[in-house]
Structure 1
C-alpha cells in the first residue's frame, strides 16, 4: 500500500468520526482507521499520538461540532425558545453522530488544554443562554448539569432503542425541556 496523498490530521479525524458513527467507538482502532484510509497503521503515528491521541482529537472535534450545532440552532433567539433550540440541537447531534457524540462525554484530563477549551466553549454558551433566568453563578452551573443530564439521558435512551412506545419523540423531548424550564427557578441561589 502506498501512502495516501493528502493524509493529514484533519482527514484522520474526519475518517475516524465516520467510523465511530457507523460502527461505534469500540470499533475505532488505528488498524480500522488505516484500513479505511488505505494506509498502513504506522503511518498514522505521523499525525496522531496513538489511539489515545486519536480519541482526544475525536473528542475535541465532537465538542466543536456539538457547539456549532447548538449555537446555530439558537442564533438570534433567547429565553425559553433558545433553551428549546439548543436542547433539540443537542439531541439531534447525538442522533446523527452517535459515535462522535460518545467521545464528547468524557471529562478532560487536567492539562489537556484543547479538550478543556472545547468543553469550556460549550459551557460558556449554555451559561449565556441560561443567564436570562437570574439564577446566579452557582445556580446556572447547577442548571447546566441538570439540562445536560436530561438531554444526555434522552439521547442515550433513544440511541439504545429505549423508547418502545409509539409516541412522538419530538413531543416527548419538547415537554421534557418545558418541564426543565418550568422548574428552573429551583436552581436559583441566594
Structure 2
C-alpha cells in the first residue's frame, strides 16, 4: 500500500532532488523509493516506471528553468534580453545540475503529459520572441535557436565538468561570448538579406 500523501508530484520532486545530488543517470525507482521511505512497488501507483519518472523530472525542470528565464527577461529586448536569458539559463544549470541534464536528453515522455506541460512550450515562445527582437524570421530563427542552445549548453557543461583550466575567469569568457552572440545576431548572415543586397548592388 502506498504511503499516505504520496503523489506523482512528490515522487517527481524526490527524483529531481536525487538527480541534483547524485546525477540524473543515478535516478532509479529503487533509489527514489528509498528516499521517500516506501517500497518500490508503491511508486507504481503514481508513475508508470523509470521512463515516466525521468520524463516527469524533465518537464518539471523545463518549467522551472522557463519561469526563471521569463522573470529575468521581462520587459527587456535586444542585448539586455539576450544576456538576461543566458544568465538565467546558466544559473539554473549550476543550481540544479541533475534536473538541467534531464532537459537536454532525449527521453520517453508520455505525449499527453508533455502536451499539458507549459514549460517546453513557453521556452520556445520566449526564445523565439527574444530572437525576433533581432529582426530574424524563419529559417534563420531556427538556426539562431540552435546556435544559442549549442553555446549555452556547451559552456555550462564544460564549466560543470571543470573543463576551463585556463587562469582566465570563466565569467569573463562568458561575458565575451555573449558579446559575440549579440554581434552575430545583429549582423545575421541571412540568405535572403544577402540576395537582396546583391541585387541592389548589381549595376545591371
TM-score, structure 1 normalization: 0.92
1:50 aligns with 2:49: yes
CA RMSD in angstroms, aligned pairs only: 1.9
Flag the 1:99–1:140 CA change in 2: closer, same or farther, 3 A.
same
Flag the 1:77–1:57 CA change in 2: closer, same or farther, 3 A.
same
Question: Structure 1: which 5+ residue stretches go unaligned?
Answer: none
Query: Which residue number corresponds to residue 36 of structure 2?
Result: 37
CA distance in 1, matches of 2:18, 2:55: 15
Residue 20 of structure 1: how far off its partner (Å) = 0.2
Cα contact 1:23–1:99 (8 A) shared by 2: yes
Query: Which residue number corresponds to residue 167 of structure 1?
Result: 168
Q: In the TM superposition, what are the counterparts of 1:74-153 in structure 2 within 5 Å? A: 74-107=73-106, 112-115=111-114, 118-153=119-154
Q: What is the number of residues matched between the two proteins? A: 189
Residue 119 of structure 1: how far off its partner (Å) = 2.5
Residue 6 of structure 1: how far off its partner (Å) = 1.3
1:8 aligns with 2:7: yes
Cα contact 2:61–2:103 (8 A) shared by 1: yes
Cα contact 1:157–1:163 (8 A) shared by 2: yes
Cα contact 2:47–2:53 (8 A) shared by 1: yes
Flag the 1:108–1:29 CA change in 2: closer, same or farther, 3 A.
closer
Query: Which residue number corresponds to residue 17 of structure 1?
Result: 16
